[in-house]
Structure 1
């Protein structure tokens, strides 16, 4: 990877990953320490002690968040990280030496308070040392360093416990050494010591690299405190029903995972798995979470995001319900990984959908609110879980000769699973209304009896499609978009369905049977017409559209696959799913980055309009439905803002320069593939956002006249 060839980046990334590993190891060690110090007390007391550790980790953000945010940008980032890491190492060493519950709480509070300064400073280091065009990749590596360390920390903690038991056996080592190591605190102290060393190494790495890291990033937006984010977020959610459902679903998914982590320490005791079992269970949940975020949407590629979101939450709940009755540790650990996997799917899909639904000017604070809420929910469920397990207690129900044992941790998992299923039902009814039978829909989709979902757009160039029931209106909007983009300094190619239809006619003349003397050529069958349309579409995509995209250019299509599909569906003469497969195969699974559906009510075209709008609902992330398009300028402000979003995402916005001399740019027209070779650079792929009322963010570099350009209809 190119970024890892930068020496300073490689060192800083390794330092942050090492300190993240130590931080997760510290969480495992401190919760195990709280349980071990109260091992002679009741289950309720043990649960309270474990919950206290988690709640203490949350408290500094609530109390000191605003103060730390105001002060963090005034400090030298390098000094902040170095001093903060050394302080954290010292505090973790003091916990290991003191081995006292009260000091554990106090030191944990101080560690989290220091983290309020060091974490923003670490994040700011990326901006200093990473080329801006590589920043997205660097952020992915940053997330990998934080969450990828979880299973490693769990495995390391399990190994420390196993090694401690091995050396505590007098049959394996010297009896005196075995007696000295025969203490349940030994692996915890070793873990805390390793944690302290990891922070010291991190501080030393930043110190050695300090000359290659600038002290400040320059101007940076001040982060709001957690309480301010909560206030703003609640206000926004009240006005948006879909966002509310997405928000509830994400929190429900993380609550399911949080309860598993929270009761894990007590649950493994009932399963007789010990401290090593706790670390394994902890690791499997987070490993499943990571796999769900990475692989989840690919498991059912034919299912829309909205449907995946609801069903994944429900599956996490069902697994929790079954998991609550398990008494075999290996099976329970596998199910814990499954809960994490489905929670990870819910998180990444919900996070993506929120990005599509929120306008740019609100996106930053909305994401900050959601992430803060997720952190609070995760920590609260981890803290509340042990309390619930302790107060629910153990119960034995005798039915004849059979005894059913219900433990406090098991009952907690059962309640959490039922709540997750209820949240899934709520989310499905609001995020994907009318599609509640998501499991049967998934099966039908896999076996090909349901419409296929769209593929991903190309990573190079930008393809825009204008769809609508009225061809004249489509042409007007498409021409307006091309003229506006050209005025912004872009070279644009305009294509249309008429070009494909002409190609289909040529193919028909070349391949059709010659008329016999005195007899007219018989009309082509519906299947033949559909195949000719797919062949013409494939030829046009290959010879005209793809060459422009390959050079990083912009193509605006007056009608694309959706128009063909909707008209075929309306006619009912051809199997729509089969024709869609032919179109997708012939075009190399090419789909537009943005498809604009002109939603104008017209009595003569209403059925076609409804079909196009229904297709837009399958992938709202790549569609923009413009109601009342006939009364809007071409292009409207909402359309211009959305197109700017797409161009910015794929790296084409900053490269164009506004032009006052339109004559030096080509107004797009249907041309052969080699007549237009845009010289834009290859963009970096990313997801797009959607909102009909999109508003341009203040910090985005945009052409000077883009906010006032409005072409007449």
Structure 2
């Protein structure tokens, strides 16, 4: 079994990661297994989302609200359970908790094989998200126990890169992955081996049909669980965990809320994230509308590159792929700046640049600018995430780190949900309003409704950056927020 190195957080705003951090991470078996597990299961996450979107569209007769129900089902658990899950993450062995979450998600995914009912699909998505609500804070809190402290920033960046790269692969290569899976299944079925005939043959039609993605997704979670099983943290992850009871759980929740209330800089970080996502969330629903309008006209280099033609054919993919690509680049680059720039400044600057990218995305009618703005926005999202996660790792004691990470996850999800609830309807109203004005005045307006809302949302993000610069101490010594 792999043993985890003894590590401890530190409060320096400058991490000064030494050269060769990525090489050391690659040769640290415990982290390498965690990284591989995340990569495999992350691709599976996007395969199943790609399966559910057309399925729900078909079952609902093309209702946009029904499709939005998938996102709502993924976000509601954060509203209901975030404070409780944070306390539980700190009470249980994080490695075992991650294994249990993977096994639960594998079983829940297989449940999609036996239903054509929308309510049941939403329930499965809801329960899978509950498992994820435990999995990711446990992973974030475990990373400092797997690597040396000078490599924490690089490890956070690599973990985030993997998460976004998995989305990129799931979006762009799902067809190739499923084709490869079906090819392997066909080869196995043709062998005629007794084991194959007994175990695999009965599932042949499903494994080779449109639901093959369900099996692939379930398999990714099982592979992830198997890899995490081989990680051992020795004495470094054996936190003092009292016998769990409801009263103690309530005390943990109150302690975590009091901790966040008493430490202004950490609270400021969470408020900044909430405001930035509230405005920044507009780039997805309204950005899709904007890209769809832009792709009506001839696109530079269209017809010369097959991959570009494929992206143009699906506007949703066009935007998300460039956002995800920017996230990958940003997550790889962010750790390089942590040794030169304080985490608070890196975080605040990332929010400000994200707002600027959104402003350019909303104002400029040029494909090159749209692509560059999406890339920059993705890179800034990654930078803000890596800087924020690393700040928590370096300044929060391990005993309560799971609760703080869960609060961070909850802020992200709740803010995104509010953004979808508020910004998307505003976008619809603005689009109809601008079209009505243009029709009544018989004039061609130089801006569209979605552009107006995107510009307004970008100012919300820029306001979040101003708040961050005023609240976070990005020049002086870092506030010690350790607690336990």
Q: How does the TM-score come out when normalised to structure 1?
A: 0.46
State the 1:252 CA deviation.
Answer: 3.2
State the partner residue of 1:250.
Answer: 273
Q: Is the CA contact (8 Å cut-off) linking 1:154 and 1:279 kept in structure 2?
A: no
Structure 2 residue matching 1:95: 3-state secondary structure:
helix
Which residue is 1:150 aligned to?
164
Assess, with a 3 A threshold, how the Cα gap between structure 1 residues 268 and 10 changes in structure 2: closer, same or farther.
Answer: same
Instruction: Give the drift of 1:416.
Output: 1.0
CA distance in 1, matches of 2:240, 2:458: 42
CA–CA distance in structure 2, aligned partners of residues 61 and 19 of structure 1: 21
What is the DSSP-based 3-state SS (H/G/I as helix, E as strand, rest coil) of the residue aligned with 2:323? Answer: helix
Equivalent-residue separation in structure 2 for 1:283 and 1:229 (angstroms): 40
What is the CA–CA distance in structure 1 between the aligned matches of 2:331 and 2:115, rounded to whole Å? 39
The answer to whether the 8 Å contact 2:88/2:249 transfers is: no
Tell me, in whole angstroms, the C-alpha distance in 1 between the residues paired with 2:337 and 2:114. 48
- Candidates 303, 306, 322, aligned match of 1:284: 322
Whether 1:103 and 2:120 are equivalent positions in the alignment is yes
Q: Secondary structure at the match of 2:148?
A: helix
Aligned equivalents of 2:350 and 2:144: distance in 1? 35
Query: CA deviation digits over 1:141-197, x for unaligned, max 9?
Result: 365235423234224323346999xxxxxxxxxxxxxxxxxxxxx999565543223
1:284, 1:25 → 2: CA distance? 18
Could you tell me which residue of structure 2 aligns to residue 538 of structure 1?
none
1:23 match: 45
Alpha-carbon deviation of 1:107?
Answer: 0.5
Determine helix, strand or coil for the equivalent of 1:620.
coil
In 1, the alpha carbon distance for the partners of 2:398 and 2:109 equals 41
RMSD (Å) for aligned C-alpha atoms: 5.1
> Which structure is larger by alpha-carbon Rg, 1 or 2?
1
Relative to structure 1, is the Cα distance of residues 56 and 139 closer, same or farther in structure 2, using a 3 angstrom cutoff? farther
Q: Assess if the C-alpha contact under 8 Å between 2:90 and 2:400 holds in 1.
A: no
User: How far 1:97 moved relative to its partner?
Assistant: 5.8
**Structure number having the greater helix percentage:** 2
Which of the numbers 444, 463, 469 marks the counterpart of 1:422? 463
Does 1:52 pair with 2:96? no
Query: What's the TM-score once normalised by structure 2's chain length?
Result: 0.63
For 1:337-361, what per-residue CA distance to the aligned partner results, in whole angstroms no more than 9, with x for missing partners? 22233344455566778899x7979
Q: Is the 8 A contact 1:11 1:205 kept in 2?
A: yes
Give how far 1:105 is off. Answer: 1.2
Please tell me whether residue 196 in structure 1 is matched to residue 234 in structure 2.
no
Corresponding residue SS for 2:173: helix
Deviations along 1:584-611, whole A, 9 cap, x unmatched? xxxxxxxxxxxxxxxxxxxxxxxxxxxx
Q: Quote the Cα distance in structure 1 between the aligned partners of 2:266 and 2:59.
A: 44
Unaligned runs of at least 5 residues, structure 1: 165-185, 433-616, 622-689, 700-713
Match of 1:513 in 2: none
Q: Does 1:406 align with 2:448?
A: yes
**Which residue is equivalent to 2:4?**
none
Runs of 5+ consecutive residues of structure 2 not aligned to the other structure: 1-22, 179-207, 243-247, 296-310
How many pairs align? 408
Inter-partner Cα distance in structure 2 for 1:267 and 1:188: 31
> Counterparts of 2:269 and 2:292 in 1: how far apart (Å)?
36
1:80/1:118 contact within 8 Å kept: yes
Q: CA 1:56 to 1:400, structure 2 compared with 1: closer, same or farther past 3 Å?
A: closer
Whole-Å separation in 2 of the counterparts to 1:9 and 1:303: 26
Residue 108 (structure 1) shift: 0.7
Query: Which aligned pairs between 1:426-437 and structure 2 lie closer than 5 A?
Result: 426-428=467-469, 430-431=470-471
Q: Higher relative contact order by CA 8 Å / sep ≥ 6: 1 or 2? A: 2
> How far apart are the structure 2 equivalents of 1:125 and 1:283?
29
User: Greater strand percent: which structure?
Assistant: 1
Assess, with a 3 A threshold, how the Cα gap between structure 1 residues 121 and 347 changes in structure 2: closer, same or farther. closer
Secondary structure, aligned partner of 2:238: coil
User: Structure 1 CA distance, aligned partners of 2:69 and 2:344?
Assistant: 37
2:36 to 2, 11, 14: 14
TM-superposed deviation, 1:620: 1.4
| Distance (Å, rounded) in 1 between the aligned partners of 2:343 and 2:476 | 9
